[in-house]
Amino acid sequence: MLIKRVPDMPASEITDERLYWGRRQFLRAVAGTAVGTATLWSPASPAVEALEAQASLQGLEKSGLSTTEEPNSFDDITSYNNFYEFGLDKEDPRRYAGRLKTRPWTIKVDGEVGKPAEYALDDLIKLNQLEERIYRFRCVEGWSMVIPWVGFPLAAVLKRVEPTSRAKYVAFTTLLRPSEMPGQRTDVLEWPYVEGLRLDEAMHPLTILAVGLYGKTLVNQNGAPIRLVVPWKYGFKSIKSIVRISLVEKQPPTSWNRSAPQEYGFYSNVNPDVDHPRWSQARERRIGEFFRRKTLPFNGYADQVAGLYAGMDLRKLY
């Protein structure tokens, strides 16, 4: 379908027609809701106020897995987002995500496990030691940031439910709530957004569930109240606003692969040597910088994760 858009395409790649119709469809969906846009977010309100408005997270440990690179500002991280449930433009999530209610929030962990569980989010958080993890983040569109997440290893959550020997993959599902997510009233993607990892990727110590940013709870545009972060993969693997984590036997469907399989594979490891069919992945623009920098294999995490893919042809399994 023409109105379907691939994630993160450079603006130059998007035909005017697609952008026009995708945007119109979204605005029509927003107009159909009771809440207008004016009260949701004043673009003039300084980022510091937004940061202060979030609850502080207590007892954070500093992680040895953090990069020493300088983090992007809170303003950068919360104003330039992909979250198609809230629109196609980078500024849409900040404008429209405020209406999403993130409490109460339950998250189900089920499937091929001995002890399926359903947690109130705050209980799940209490079960885990929160850490600050400063990670590089690379979007398939060609931009990158450094983000000080707060979270805990996904492995801790998975171990607690005791995966069976049949569990080979992990499937993640975003909330489906069109009344608060206007993008879900359009067909830019099939909803809800879904993602997946192989079990060993999911269990890797770098893979975290993030519940915060800059020491505070997540703002909605970044995937509140809980989102995945897989720093060696393109950004779209890092699914937001998760309600279900299922251990499964077979490779699960993923939203962007389903939408454009020739462009987005299941693995989606950051790989400067494999071009996107419509643009090079060799370089990236760090938000806030002028000159582009070289993209690193596995986004700079090769020492830790390359071993997961030994013997695989990552040109085929992109």
Specify the residue, 84 or 266, whose C-beta has the smaller distance to ligand MTE.
Answer: 84
For the CB of residue 166, give the shortest distance to ligand MTE in the complex, in Å: 27
Cα maximum dimension of the chain:
54
Which range binds Mo ion by CB under 5 A, 22-30, 79-87, 214-222, 250-258?
A: 79-87
Specify the residue, 7 or 153, whose C-beta has the smaller distance to ligand MTE.
Answer: 7
Closest CA to 300 of 5, 68, 40, 26: 68
Of these partners, Mo ion, ligand MTE, none, which one is at the site of residue 201 (CB under 5 to 8 Å by kind)?
none
Residues numbered 126-155 forming contacts with Mo ion, rule: CB under 5 A: 139-140
For the CB of residue 257, give the shortest distance to ligand MTE in the complex, in Å: 13
For the CB of residue 290, give the shortest distance to ligand MTE in the complex, in Å: 20
Q: Which helix (H) or strand (E) holds 74?
A: helix 74-79
54 Cβ contact partners less than 8 Å away, ≥ 6 residues apart:
212, 213, 216, 217, 218, 219
Tokens representing residue 157 in the block: 């959550």
Residues near ligand MTE, by CB under 6 A: 7-8, 81-85, 139, 174, 193, 222-223, 235-236, 238-241
279 Cβ contact partners less than 8 Å away, ≥ 6 residues apart:
9, 10, 13, 142
Q: Which residue's C-beta sits nearest to ligand MTE?
A: 235
Residues numbered 28-57 forming contacts with Mo ion, rule: CB under 5 A: none
Tokens representing residue 128 in the block: 């885990």
**How far, CA to CA in Å, does 37 sit from each of 23, 31, 89, 100, 234?**
15, 9, 15, 13, 31
Specify the DSSP class assigned to residue 253.
Answer: P
Of these partners, ligand MTE, Mo ion, none, which one is at the site of residue 222 (CB under 5 to 8 Å by kind)?
ligand MTE
Residue 236 binds Mo ion, judged by CB under 5 A: yes
For the CB of residue 90, give the shortest distance to ligand MTE in the complex, in Å: 9
Which residues contribute to the site for Mo ion (CB under 5 A)? 7-8, 82, 139-140, 235-236
